[in-house]
Structure 1
Amino acid sequence: MKAYPLDLFPSFWDKMESHIVNKDVVIHETVLDEIRRKDDALKKWFDSLKSYKPMKTSKNILPDYLEIIDWAKNAGYTKEAIAEFENQSRADAWLCAEAKLNNYVLVTNEVSSNSKNKIKIPNVCDQFNIDCIDNFEFMRNFNFIF
């Protein structure tokens, strides 16, 4: 939301709403949980989508989730990075597992990093052959033209 404030990019948010309502774009429940823990413009925008139901965590996700967590624990990351990544209230590991299990494409503004201080979604995606794109590629794929 910080990159695309509602008052400056209303057409972006209109298009996003349309794709969410049409289920071309899904928001995982763990992401929505993270959003709703903050009281900001993004939370208010999601709250305005009254009938929207986030994507539920797949029932058979646990093996993929544990495989990703196990990789993170053995990839040389700091204890703090691992603790943050495996914190069950955080969405990243669940998103990666969901994408791995169901061949979903993840959209993130994170970029790969060699740093072992934070586990980045693109690094996980590279390790597990998960498709991962940034916001600009997402917008191109869905014909967001302003």
Structure 2
Amino acid sequence: MPNVYCIDTSSLIAAWQERYPIENFPAFWVKMEAMIDGGRLIAPVDVLNEMKKRSDELHGWLKARPAMFRELDDAVQIEAAQVLAQFPRLVGERKLRTSADPFVIALARVESVQLVTDEKPTGSLNRPNIPDVCTALGMSTMGLLDVIKAEKWVIG
């Protein structure tokens, strides 16, 4: 069975703005869209909402692909509340006021799918990023480059 990935805002921003801009790597975004269409690239709706504040162009691209986004059903909300109860500093003053992070972790856990983030671990649960919390929860994470390798994409 093919992998399903739950992607974080950080990976989408890194791809769009730094690594694979659509004007230089259109084939990358065609492959991303195919994964969305196949139900293999998902994110909580909070990622779309968070993107409004970060990138108008990427928000527009994502908004045109609603199949990617999952509403926060009861199971995801309960899991996110448990994650925040255990790791309250995951959402802090240093982050954007609305943070999709607990919902990304919760969705990946509820759906039992691979979490994709380009955040780096801080090594401290006093100031955790997604990888720190996932390690503490016994979950693995991967970056977008790991997805490209796992999917055996050749671009260009």
From 43, 54, 57, the counterpart of 2:69? 54
**Alpha-carbon distance, 1:98 to partner:** 1.8
- Supply the distance in 1 between the matched residues of 2:143 and 2:39 (Cα, whole angstroms): 19
Counterpart position of 1:95: 104
TM-score relative to the length of structure 2? 0.75
The size of the alignment, in residue pairs, is 139
**Alpha-carbon distance, 1:113 to partner:** 1.5
Instruction: Quote the sequence identity (%).
Output: 22
Name structure 2 gaps, 5 residues minimum. 1-15
2:89 is the alignment partner of 1:71: no
Name structure 1 gaps, 5 residues minimum. none
RMSD of aligned alpha carbons: 2.6
Report SS of the residue matched to 1:90: coil
TM-score relative to the length of structure 1? 0.79
- Supply the distance in 1 between the matched residues of 2:100 and 2:140 (Cα, whole angstroms): 17
> Which structure ranks higher in relative contact order (CA pairs < 8 Å, sequence separation ≥ 6)?
2
Instruction: Evaluate the alpha carbon distance shift between residue 116 and residue 5 of structure 1 in structure 2; reply closer, same or farther with a 3 A threshold.
Output: same
Is the strand fraction higher in 1 or 2?
2
The answer (yes or no) to whether the contact 1:84–1:90 under 8 Å persists in 2 is no
